Chains A and B, each alone.
Chain A
Amino acid sequence: MTFLLNITPWPVLSALLWIVLVVTSLYFARPTAHNAIRAAAATLHRTFRLASTGVRKAEGRLAQRNREVLLAAGREAKERIIEREFDRVNETVRKDLANYSALHRALSESINRIESDHQAAVDVPPDPPGWVKAVEAVAKIDSREGRVGIGNVLSDIHKSLVKAHQEAMVAYHEASAMRHSYLRKMRPEWRQIQQTLGQVGKSVDSLLGRSVTIDRHMQDYEDIISGQDRAVSVLSSSSLVYFFVSALVLLVAAGGATINFSLIARPMAEMVGGTSLIGGFRTADIAALVIIMVEISMGLFLMESLRITRLFPVIGALPDKTRVRMIWITFTILLLLATVEAGLAYMREVLLHDELATSALLRGDATDGLTGQYLWITTAAQMGMGFILPFALTFVAIPLETFVHSLRTVLGLAGIGLLRFISLLLRLLGNACRYLGSLVEQLYDLPLFVPLWLESRYGGEAGRSGKRPLREART
């Protein structure tokens, strides 16, 4: 620095000389420098834009792939739902409508019986009374033949009339009673018909309900098959919901597994020793963890064998006989493991009491921890938990399947988001480089304001025309 200021005896003059030299050099190098800055800025701009385009294309491909995965998953899920609905319809038809012919026959028989009873119960008009003929006979008697005997005849008629009336009344009462008995017999038949028709109605209503549901699912299925945006949107949001819900349930299950672990890790030390290590971890802890993992695996296989989940298509495709065998084998192993866990939980309690007693003895405490008479409650609770938790963990398979399936979509969505962000960032950087180039040009011109002013003032048309390209470049 001192050297620079010592080129003349006066440092100020030296500095001025240097400034003039530098400004002049910069002025003459200005077009080349501007071109270089512009070229560099344009190169960076194009590079970033190119990268951004590449990332956008990758995002598009990923989105397309995600869409396909989503549609495929949705199609598979819908197929399962529709299949299940058809199974239910089949079950309803098999259970309720399979014996429709018998039902029809029963109805026909009931109706025939009612008809015959009805025929039998028809009110038969009573026969004309017998005395009418007697009256006619009396009317035909000529007065000449003597009317003396008429009183006797009328008396006889009266008698016979009373008798006939009594007989007719008895017959009528008997007939009425018979008809009422027929009508009484018809009542249960009516009720039976009503019940039968009610059942048929319910079955038909159920079938109609199912058909509406199937129609709805079929409509969704068609939307999925045709790849409509609405279907993709619905599937995407459903997938996100399933992801978070299943993650939450898995967290709960992890909590259960942790409790299970703490129940059996301590007594495991009694079996495999409390100090041996494998890879820096206690063997007892690893053994407890392995037991829990085996339980979860058995639970998965059980669920697969029951065809509740479909994580392993091989198991689902097994012949029914093998599958049932597998169900029994996995269930038996689970039962054994649950029993082992219950035993370990009991052992844990025993060890805990032993340790408490030893601690009390070492503390010199006469009243040790074994005096509680309700300790069996905690023991029983621990044993119960040890037995139940393996079976409860079996159901982890359901949220796990949902989690795995929805994870693909969620990861795809996250990837799309990330790629979109990178693309935006690259575009921003490209534009920033472009405007940064303009800014650097302006900064370059800043110390050259004197020659530039002189150029614009005295340079004439050439000077003014020389600036045009720069402005054009900036715009």
Chain B
Amino acid sequence: MRLCSGVLLTLVLLGCTPSAPGNTGVYMLLDTSGTYREELQKAEQIIRYTLSRLDATDTFAVARIDTGSFSEKDIVAKTSFDDRPSAINRQKRLFAEQISLFVSKSDSSPYTDITGGLLQAVEFLNEKGAGRKTILIFSDLKEDLQDGYVRDITFDLDGFEVIALNVTKLRSDNVDPREYLARLEQWQTRVEKSGGEWRVINDLDGLEGLL
């Protein structure tokens, strides 16, 4: 009898032992510089799609890219979903409302600090301890730093997937497409050297493989 009780207790304890986290952490960076701000409507669609794909205990944060993006103040909305379905739905609706408000009222920023935003994303997702970490960069990937900002920093992207979304071509890219290709290659090299995976999705109608 004692043996049976012991075996049962062990099984229950083993069953309750927390396994490796199976949740997803998504951090999305929104470029609000210059004319790219007009693309934010598309970003809102992507955010809504992302919200529909996320589930209990997942984490989602949306932050803007501005002059100095390595700051918590740039986080527009963030949430870690509850494990009760009704609470998750409430959180999703609230998140969508916050994003709608941001898209309608956000200002254009004069500079673009993508690296700072990326650092902030890495820090945020590492802190949340998500099992699968994804950073979405909604930007044309043209970094434009204000004088004095140091962003020549290496970061650890091991276990991260970085997805560039809607990487639009600039006027200068049309004149010399090599600039566009070089820009993409530079970011890919940077991410992959840091241990991360790199993907580009420009066709926003095909978001099925996003998460």
Contact = CB atoms under 8 A, between A and B. Distances in A.
B86 A354 contact: yes
A270 interface: yes
Interface string A203-232: 000000000000000000000000000000
Give chain A's interface secondary structure class: helix
Given A275-B57, A279-B11, A354-B89, A362 B52 contact: yes
A354 B90 CA distance: 9
A241 interface: no
Contacts of A277: 15, 19
Contact of B84 (A274, A279, A358): A274
A364 B48 contact: yes
A278 interface: yes
A308 B92 CA distance: 53
A280 B11 CA distance: 12
A277 B56 CA distance: 13
Contacts of B16: 278
Nearest to B51: A362
Interface string B70-109: 0000000000000111100100110010000000000000
A299 B209 CA distance: 48
B14 interface: yes
Contacts of A266: 85
A358 B83 contact: no
Interface residues of A, number: 21
A273 B89 contact: no
Nearest to B91: A358
Given A279-B14, A364-B48, A274 B56 contact: yes
Given A279-B11, A362-B51, A274 B93 contact: no
Contacts of B86: 270, 351, 354
Given A362-B48, A362-B92, A362-B96, A355 B85 contact: yes
Contact size range, B:
20 to 34
Contacts of B12: 278
Give chain B's interface secondary structure class: helix
A358 B89 contact: yes
Contacts, number: 54
Contact of A276 (B23, B83, B93, B96): B83
A359 B23 CA distance: 20
Given A274-B56, A275-B56, A354-B89, A362 B49 contact: yes
Nearest to B50: A362
A363 interface: yes
Interface in A337-359: 351, 354-355, 357-359
A361 interface: yes
B48 to A, nearest CB: 4
Q: Which of B45, B52, B89, B93 has the most CB of A within 10 A?
A: B89
A269 interface: yes
Contacts of B96: 361-362
B85 A270 contact: yes
Contacts of A351: 85-86
A279 B11 CA distance: 8
A413 to B, nearest CB: 34
Q: Which of B11, B83, B93 has the most CB of A within 10 A?
A: B83
A274 B85 contact: yes
A351 B87 CA distance: 10
A269 B85 contact: yes
A290 to B, nearest CB: 13
Nearest to B87: A270
A269 B55 CA distance: 13
A270 to B, nearest CB: 5
Interface of A: 266, 269-270, 273-280, 351, 354-355, 357-359, 361-364
29 contacts: A269-B56, A269-B83, A269-B85, A270-B85, A274-B84, A274-B85, A275-B23, A275-B56, A275-B57, A275-B83, A276-B83, A277-B19, A278-B12, A278-B16, A280-B15, A354-B85, A355-B85, A355-B89, A357-B89, A358-B92, A358-B93, A359-B52, A361-B93, A362-B48, A362-B49, A362-B51, A362-B52, A364-B45, A364-B48
3 closest A-B pairs (Cβ-Cβ)? A279-B15, A273-B83, A278-B15
Given A351-B85, A362-B52, 4 more contacts: A269-B84, A275-B57, A278-B12, A359-B52
